[in-house]
Chain A
Amino acid sequence: MNNTIFTRDRLINLSIIITTIWFLWFAQHFFDEYTIRIINNVAIFIILAVSYNLINGITGQFSLEPNGFVAIGAYVTAILTVDSEAMLYQYDIEDPYPWVLALQSNFGWALFFSGTISALLAASLAFPVFRVRGDYLAIVTLGFGFIIRILAINSPEITNGSLGINDIPEFSNLYWTGGMALFTVLAILNIIYSKYGRAMKAVRDDEDAATAMGINTFKIKTMAFTTSAFFEGIGGGLLAALLTSISPDLFTFFLTFQLLIIIVLGGLGSTTGAILGTIFVMAGLEWMRFLDEPMNLFGFETEALPGMRMVVFSLILIFVMLFAREGLMGKKELKDLFRRKKANK
Chain B
Amino acid sequence: MILEVNNITKKFGGVTAIKDTSFSVKSKEIYGLIGPNGAGKTTMFNIITGNYEPTEGNIKFHGQRIDGIKPYKIVHRGIARTFQNIRLFKSMTVMDNVLIGFDYQATYTYLESIFRLPRFFSEEKRVKQRAMEIMEVLGIAQFASEQATSLSYGQQRKVEIARALAANPQLLLLDEPAAGMNPNETHELAELFFKIRDEFDITILLIEHDMKFVNHLCDRVMVLDYGKTIFEGHIEDAIQDEEVIKAYLGDFKHA
Q: Which of A211-227 contact B (CB under 8 A)?
A: 211-217, 223
Query: Using an 8 Å CB-CB cutoff, how does the interface string of B98-132 with A read, 1 for contact, 0 for none?
Result: 01111110101010011110001000100100000
Instruction: Select B113's contact among A196, A205, A217, beta carbons within 8 Å.
Output: A196
CA of A206 to CA of B83, assembled, Å: 12
The answer to whether A195 and B91 touch across the interface, beta carbons within 8 angstroms, is no
The answer to whether A209 and B83 touch across the interface, beta carbons within 8 angstroms, is yes
B220 CB-CB contact with A under 8 Å: no
The answer to whether B116 and A195 touch across the interface, beta carbons within 8 angstroms, is no
B158 CB-CB contact with A under 8 Å: no
Q: Which residue of B lies closest to A223 (CB)?
A: B110
B58 CB-CB contact with A under 8 Å: no
CA of A217 to CA of B71, assembled, Å: 11
The answer to whether A212 and B92 touch across the interface, beta carbons within 8 angstroms, is no
Q: Which residues of A contact B194 (CB under 8 A)?
A: none
Instruction: Select A213's contact among B91, B106, B115, B167, beta carbons within 8 Å.
Output: B167
A78 CB-CB contact with B under 8 Å: no
The answer to whether A195 and B114 touch across the interface, beta carbons within 8 angstroms, is no
> Are A213 and B92 CB-contacts (below 8 A) given A191-B114, A198-B99, A199-B103?
no
The answer to whether B75 and A209 touch across the interface, beta carbons within 8 angstroms, is no
Q: Which residue of A lies closest to B71 (CB)?
A: A211
Q: Which residues of A contact B70 (CB under 8 A)?
A: 216
The answer to whether B92 and A198 touch across the interface, beta carbons within 8 angstroms, is yes
Chain A residues in the interface with B (C-beta under 8 A): 187, 190-191, 194-196, 198-199, 201-202, 204-206, 208-217, 223, 269, 331
Q: List 29 A-B contacts (CB under 8 A).
A: A190-B113, A190-B116, A191-B110, A191-B113, A194-B108, A194-B120, A194-B124, A195-B99, A195-B102, A195-B106, A195-B124, A196-B110, A198-B92, A198-B100, A201-B89, A202-B92, A204-B91, A205-B91, A205-B92, A209-B83, A209-B89, A212-B49, A212-B80, A213-B100, A213-B101, A214-B72, A214-B80, A215-B72, A216-B72
